[in-house]
Amino acid sequence: MRQRIATLDCARGIAILGILLLNINAFGLPKAAYLNPAYHGLPTTADAWTWAVMDVLAQAKFLTMFALLFGAGLQLLLPRGKRWIQARLSWLLLFGLLHAIFLWDGDILLSYGLIGLVCWRLIREATGSRTLLLTGALLFFLGVGILVMFAFMTNPNPGDFWQPGAASLQYEAFWKLQGGQEAWQNRLDMLSSTLLSVGAQYGWELAGAMLFGAGLMRSGWLRGEFSPGHYRRLALWLITLSWLIQIPSVAMQWHLGWDYRWSGFLLQAPREVGAALQSVGYLALLYGFWPVLSRWRITGWLAQIGRMALSNYLLQTLICTTLFYVIGLYDQFSRLQLLAFVPAVWLVNLLFSLLWLRYFAQGPMEWLWRRLTALAAGRPADVTHP
């Protein structure tokens, strides 16, 4: 049991750190830059290559990995009962709402809470791991199909979210650096768009990943019950296949100058599929080499970060919003230069986790989350349950 939990915690730690590789652009650059490197004219060669490498190695991979692990966590929580799970997810939804409005518009917690409230029932009612895996794959591909369909339904002329004008970029810089009510109102407007996206398209992919993760847990795959050789072979096949799908898509986007319809929809679809395959491949790598990795000190450090995943996710927001919005480093660095901030934030995550867990059994937000859940569910808040 301890080894299984350590492996899951290590995977969560990797996912939380990996998410920052892309989120750093969302903090340090205009919102349109997250998916479109040509948001303000063609990028420099260095920035284009940075985008391409990060797209192949990280874009959507660690978010999908985290969604898989979230679904696995829902499977583990089923013995706690309906009231506990509903209370836990409802509090996560509230944390996400506050985070999205008052701190940062790139929040994922609200979406996870909303979709989790739907998925946990499907997980509970599923007759077996095969049902969860098939349903998860079906929902994920349904979301990808909707993305392709949108390519032929949307206006071919992109809006400010893809190709903002000078006035829009100036206003975005103003409210992000100014803060206060102006920023809250803009984040609230963006939250409305995010929720529409979750309901129309992204939510299907997220639900699919959660159900698939629950199926991997119920089957024993995420419990480490298969041989190291199985995990290693699967990692090789999945990561290779994902690159065969994604690299041509990335090259084609570059060739087309990041055209909106192609890059935002038609070529995004194979990248979404490739990212899902690669996420499972990354997990398979971890499990396949776990007998060796478990002896490394850095693996224990990653597990500590994973034990405090929520606290560390919010800590990244506090650090980056302070650097870019309070101190004023926003839109001052290129995509490549922003990557230099990532190891420093990772180091803070690591030191915070190591020091905090030396004295406490849980991270601060994990403790608060569990206490509030117990209060709402009318249950004791033990700290031993995964």
Dihedral, CA of residue 324, residue 326, residue 332 and residue 336, to nearest 10: -20
CA–CA dist 113, 88 (Å, integer): 9
| Among 183, 158, 162, residue whose Cα is nearest residue 171 | 183
Lowest mean pLDDT among 14-18, 132-136, 263-267: 263-267
Q: Residue written as tokens 């290590």?
A: 10
**DSSP codes of every residue in 334-353:** -HHHHTTHHHHHHHHHHHHH
Q: Coil, strand, or helix at residue 39? A: strand
Query: Are 204 and 140 within 8 A, CB to CB?
Result: yes
Lowest mean pLDDT among 1-5, 55-59, 96-100, 127-131: 1-5
Segments of 9-122 assigned E as strands: none
How confident is the model over 56-71, as a mean pLDDT?
96
Query: Could you tell me the pLDDT band of residue 33, with boundaries at 50, 70 and 90?
Result: very high
* pTM, two decimal places: 0.94
* Count of alpha carbons within 13 angstroms of residue 276, beta-carbon side: 23
Q: Report pLDDT digits (tens) over 97-129.
A: 999 999 999 999 999 999 999 999 999 999 999
Query: Are 105 and 187 within 8 A, CB to CB?
Result: yes
Beta bridge partner(s), residue 41: 39
| Among 303, 214, 263, 272, residue whose Cα is nearest residue 15 | 303
Q: What is the pLDDT of residue 381?
A: 58
Q: What is the pLDDT of residue 307?
A: 96
CA–CA dist 16, 305 (Å, integer): 8
**DSSP codes of every residue in 158-193:** --TTTS--HHHHHHHHHHHHH-HHHHHHHHHHHHHH
Q: Report pLDDT digits (tens) over 269-299.
A: 999 999 999 999 999 999 999 999 999 999 9
Torsion sign over Cα 72, 76, 77, 82: positive
C-alpha radius of gyration, the chain, whole number: 20
Q: Is the pLDDT of residue 1 over 90?
A: no
Query: Could you tell me the pLDDT band of residue 382, with boundaries at 50, 70 and 90?
Result: low
CA–CA dist 146, 263 (Å, integer): 15
